[in-house]
Each structure stands twice: as C-alpha cells, then as structure tokens.
Amino acid sequence: MKAVSGKQMCKALERAGWNLIRIRSSHHIYHRDGAPRPVPVPVHGNRTLPGKLQRAIMKEAGLAESDL
C-alpha cells in the first residue's frame, strides 16, 4: 500500500465527495451525506500516516488504493 500523509488523505477524501466540516486541533473531520459517522484525519505536516490508521480511514470512508 502506498504510504500517504494526512494532507494527501484529505485531498483523496475531498475528491471522493467528503466535505470538511471542522478542524479540531490537528484533526480534520470529514462528513458525507449518507455516511454513518464522520471520518477524522490527523494532519501533522507532511508526516505519513501509520499503516493501520491509513487502512482504517480508507475502510471507513470507502476508499480504494486507486483513489489515493
């Protein structure tokens, strides 16, 4: 799996139709109509997301690796 930063994950979510609803500290919270719950994304500069966290965000948001 391609390692991505929080900024890159945010861009992928926005391309998939997710909207930024708020920023709380370093966490960007995204929501989409019909989604059961919001998806938080930690953004710490250009630091890459840990593998498990990246997979969890992608699973919750319904993203495939090709969406990155």
Instruction: Give a yes or no: residue 60 inside a domain.
Output: yes
* In a domain? residue 1: no
**8 A C-beta contact, residue 12 and residue 60:** no
Write the DSSP assignment of 2-45 as a string of letters.
---BHHHHHHHHHHTT-EEEEEETTEEEEE-TT-SS-EEEE--T
Give me the pLDDT at residue 1, please: 82
Domain that holds residue 39: 6-67
Question: What CATH number corresponds to the domain at position 11?
Answer: 3.30.920.30
In a domain, residue 56? The reply is yes
- Model confidence, pTM: 0.91
What pLDDT shows up at residue 32?
Answer: 95
Residue 41 lies in a domain: yes
Q: pLDDT-based confidence at 2, cuts 50/70/90? A: confident
Please give the tally of structural domains in the chain: 1
26-57 pLDDT, tens digit each: 999 999 999 999 999 999 989 999 999 999 99
11 has a pLDDT exceeding 90 = yes
